[in-house]
Amino acid sequence: MLGLNKKDTTLLLVVAILTLCAPFILNPFPEGSALAQFNAGYPDLMQRFVIFGIFAIGFNILFGLTGYLSFGHAAFLGVGSYSAVWMFKLLSMNVIPAIILSMIVSGLFAVVIGFVSLRRSGIYFSILTLAFAQMSFNLAYSVLTPITNGETGLQLTLNDPRILGMSATADGSIPVTSLFGLEMRSTYQMEVGAWLFQFNAGYYLCAAIMLLAFYLAIRIFRSPFGMMLRAVKSNQQRMRYTGLNPRPYTLAAFVISGMYAGLAGGLMASMDPLAGAERMQWTASGEVVLMTILGGAGTLIGPVLGAGFIKYFENIFSKINDNVLHSWFSFLPDGLEDFIVTIVHPFIGKGWHLTLGILFMLVVIFLPGGLVEGGQRIARLFRGKKTANTSKTKTEPAE
């Protein structure tokens, strides 16, 4: 279907179903219950899941296929956000032109940064991209203030000269982003017993775009172009002496992944129309590297899993505080309760980075293929039992 083989079609369908049903799946616990803390089915967070999913899918096209590790991809995310906000300020509150512009501008940035950085490979390439991103961050923070609004960040105001649309609504507030009139913030709430499910227009737009981005990534992975990118990673020497020029291949991959990042940035601004320089900081560049490696670099679904995993941690673990812990362990004798809370304390709330760091180390050491490899191992455990039984009855020699 859609030019995909059976396995890839199944994968795409599963991802589609999961994203469409996310408001249910991510809200398994009834409101007000002790575990409601772990619910992730609210619009903000779901939007972040899929937007960072797009970011990581794009990053994986570069890193997973060619092996070129960019440490500056957040620059494209930031550029995408700024472009989108400018489009809201100048043209219209419709998200489509904003998203298109953010992809074009980040693509142009990627051509320039990629052209220079790809003259080197390995660690030097990483450092060059890092330098570019840091440069962009600092420029956005200071010199380019007229464009970026410096420290404050770029925001909508009541006197934006919006060509198609009004500067302010009738009641004197700033208009909201929309898709041909459908407001991105509009949310349908569904109460089922003690559960509350939220269906947000913005989330579904992001989810649809993520599915499109994912589909395109599968096509790229399976295309002759994708094979050439894997050839770049495998042996550039052989490639050159086979009449192929690795440079334009890596540049094309770099620009594509830069545009994915720009798209993610544009979507962020479309959900919440503001853009700040911190979006370009090196920590943000590092985060997408973590997502991709944690999920499984070079696999199709890995980056999406990694993005979801990290965003879940960031938003859920960081909100657990000592009070919550005390309420969980209140069944224990007082002394023991305090003891356990003290032990757990560094790993939660502001300490969620510690938990994530430890998990990341464990994954890299024991599951070099990331979460995807973990999943495969579990699947093999189950399947292994079955094949072990059947192989006993086989008599022909194993090949």
Partner 1 sequence: MGILEVKGVNKRFGGLQALGDVNLSVRENTVHAIIGPNGAGKSTLLNCLVGKLIPDTGSVMFDGQSVLGRQPHEINQMGISRVFQTPEIFGDLTVMENMMIPIFAKRDGAFRMHAVGNMMSEKGIVEAAEKMLVDMNMADKRDMHTASMSRGDKRRLEIGMCLAQEPKLLLLDEPTAGMARADTNNTIDLLKQIKEERDITIAIIEHDMHVVFSLADRITVLAQGTPLVEDDPQNIKGNPKVREAYLGETA
Q: Give the footprint of partner 1 on this chain (CB under 8 A).
A: 3, 5, 216, 219-220, 222-228, 230-231, 233-235, 237-245, 248-249, 252, 256
Question: What is the closest distance, in whole angstroms, from the C-beta atom of residue 252 to partner 1 in the complex?
Answer: 6
Contact 275, 81 (CB under 8 A): yes
- Residue 104 sits at φ, ψ, to 5 deg, of -65, -50
Instruction: Output phi, psi for 350, to 5 deg.
Output: -65, -15
d(CA 51, CA 346): 29
Cβ closer to partner 1: 120 or 233? 233
Give the shortest CB-304-to-partner 1 separation in angstroms.
20
Q: How far apart are CA 240 and CA 363, in angstroms?
A: 35
Q: Which three-class secondary structure state does DSSP give residue 240? A: helix
Min dist. Cβ of residue 239 to partner 1 (A)? 8
CB closer to partner 1 out of 181 and 224: 224
**Nearest CB to partner 1, comparing residues 65 and 275:** 65
Q: Which is nearer to partner 1, 7 or 392 (CB)?
A: 7
- Cβ at position 338, least distance to partner 1 in Å: 53
With tokens 């938003």, the residue in question is 315
User: Cα(247)–Cα(355) distance, rounded to whole angstroms?
Assistant: 39
Cβ at position 222, least distance to partner 1 in Å = 6
Other Cβ atoms less than 10 A from the Cβ of 358: the count is 11
- Using the structure block, give the residue that is written with the tokens 């934006």: 160
Minimum gap (Å) between residue 302 Cβ and partner 1? 17
Q: Which is nearer to partner 1, 244 or 344 (CB)?
A: 244
Cβ of 392: how many Cβ atoms within 10 Å?
8
* Identity of the residue, 130 or 372, whose beta carbon is nearer to partner 1 in the bound complex: 372
